[in-house]
A and B are shown apart, each in its own frame.
Chain A
Amino acid sequence: MNVADLIDLLLQHSPALIVAIPLLGAFITPLISRLNDKVRNVFVILTLGLTASLVFLLASDVFSGNIHTYIFGSQDLALPVVRILFEVDAMSAFMVIISVILSLIAVIYSWSFMKENTGLDKYYTLILLMTAGMLGMELTGDLFNFFVFLEITSISSAALVAFWTNKAKSVEAGFKYIVISTIGALFILFSIALFYGQYNALNMAMIASAIQYTFLDKIALVLLIAALAMKAGVVPMHMWLPDAYGKAPSSITFILVGATQASLYGVFRVCFTIYGGAINLSSISVGWILVIMGIITMLLGVAMAIIQTDFKRLIAFGAVAEIGYMLLGIGTGLVVMLNPEMTATGLAAMKGGIFHIMNDALDVGLLFLVAGAIYYATKETSLNKLGGLARNMKYTTVFFIIGLLAVSGMPPMNGFASKLLIYESTYHLNPILSIFAILSSIMLLAVFVKVFHSAFLGPALPKFENVKEVPKSMLIAMGAIATIIIIFGLFPELIVNNIVEPAANALINYGDYIREVIPSFTGGA
């Protein structure tokens, strides 16, 4: 068996391996951590590195146009509900790349960030479980399997948010997060039961091919959108997000950004693929609902961010505002999907929204890592007590400047490229949307310049005289993210054509997704 055969074998089994390897690693980690701490850290990094290489292998094949499926169970597709199907199209591959990069960088960062804490074997086990849950949520083609992986992710991330149990606010934030997650997930299960009762199918492709837009389907759509939007942090259901992001350890917040974006991916999967054939039967456009939710999210996110004084809570409100951009872009794509003369606008808006998912994960993630670095060095979280740190921590300042420019959409960073797409395409739909988007970009710049002044500029305070630069593993993690940001900013055409455009086309042409499972399906774009 030569190398090409081995790579083909890996490629064929990769959807299952990508979820199975972190899961297996999560169960072995407590055993390995009895030996030595360093061995356990290296083992976790190697597990995630192996998963990342499998992800890139799978993504490189999916982006050239093939949809991969993997069947656990009966191969005869005529029998209903006796299998679980993993179906990887370009949008799934896009989200899986983001999740695995976030996990890998977070584990490298927590090598030195969490070094003085005890109970670290549980920490690494939960990180691997959370990664397996996120990857499963994005790869699966079965609705009930999506619910199971959603619950795996939310249970392990709630335990990680409450990791510092000696602080009262952390435990309270973890409790709020798990209550909100469970209520949302139970309503998702209710709508899955509605689908099963009508169509005797749990597979997304089979439901999509058989859907008629009955009254129960409308109830299921409302429940799914509301519950998944709550998990994604859409205003006015966003209030758990600043509490959970602000009080978790910084490396955990970094992965939580990926988990909320996986829930946003669920919204798009429901609206575009499952309801693809039925959206044009509805006279009230679901796209306008997404657009209006996006506008409210953007405005309220930046308005709350201006008056915060806690560092990580402020960045969390900035993350809420960025979710609004994604909803705005993709909602515009959904609104103009049926209008044959605005297809170019719709495609540009969807490319902007999808590209912004990756950019936002990187930018806001870098800001959270910098906040963690400052907490590690000075043990302060309130912005009122910081000042003049640019003299002591030079590298951290440079990374913060890169993150600041990227989040507010300044050239030449990657935030500018995706926001430019969103501005220009929503202008064709309605100019007011574009005005709101630019306005909240400017306010985000104002917010983060305020943070930069209070934390880094100013005279050297006497209580920070012994503050040194953070250890090397945190610098390596922040540096890797900053390098990716700069590369995405300097060569946006390369990224958009090869990675984002297949994902946008996969969402618009839902017929290909269904034809993979049911070859005789006609209709659909």
Chain B
Amino acid sequence: MFILEPLLETFQTGSGFWNPVIWVDAIIVALLIVVVLRGFGNKEYKKKTGQTQAFLSGNPEYEKEQMHIKSSNIYWGFTESLKWVFDSLKKLHTGNISDYSLWFIIVMAILFIVLIMGENLVGAI
């Protein structure tokens, strides 16, 4: 027998709640309204005439390879303005295995200092 009650329970976090089934119902209602509104639109258009070509503010359309924005160029403004962060991060990932082991020893040394020396200092204070 299919018990419906536990499937519809609200997800309680410590300080809030979230019920995904109600959310999905709300989205379906919104999509239905969208479909109904779209049905009021103009149904006829002629294919392959000037009505369906892309409008690029009057610029000519190049071949398809050049029209697609490559992935290195997508967030250009963001990566260019924070160039100092990303360049130093790129230099950090050298690919050299000696550097990977060096980072392990550095983290181990930092944890030593924090856990062991820090305990003596906090105990002394």
Contacts and interface: CB of A to CB of B under 8 A. Distances in A.
Direct contact of A and B (CB under 8 A): yes
Interface stretch (A104-112, A115-123, A283-291): A283-291
Q: Could you tell me the dominant secondary structure of chain B's interface residues?
A: helix
A239 interface: yes
Contacts of B10: 493
B95 interface: yes
B15 A184 contact: no
Interface of B: 6-7, 9-16, 18, 20-21, 23-24, 64-65, 67-72, 74-75, 78-79, 85-86, 89-90, 92-93, 95, 97, 99-101, 103-104, 106-108, 111-112, 114-116, 118-119, 122-123
A521 B104 CA distance: 37
B7 A454 contact: no
Contacts of A227: 104
A425 B9 contact: no
Given A176-B97, A283-B123, A309 B75 contact: no
A288 B20 CA distance: 33
A170 interface: no
Given A176-B97, A237-B103, A384 B71 contact: yes
Contact of B97 (A180, A230, A300): A180
A461 B65 contact: yes
15 contacts: A222-B108, A226-B111, A229-B107, A230-B104, A284-B118, A286-B115, A303-B89, A306-B86, A344-B14, A417-B11, A417-B20, A458-B69, A459-B64, A459-B67, A490-B24
A183 B104 contact: yes
A239 B100 contact: yes
A227 B107 CA distance: 10
Given A176-B100, A421-B13, A424-B16, A306 B107 contact: no
Interface in A292-315: 300, 303-304, 306-307, 309
Which residue, B6, B21, B70, B106, has most C-beta atoms of chain A within 10 A? B70
A491 interface: yes
A323 to B, nearest CB: 15
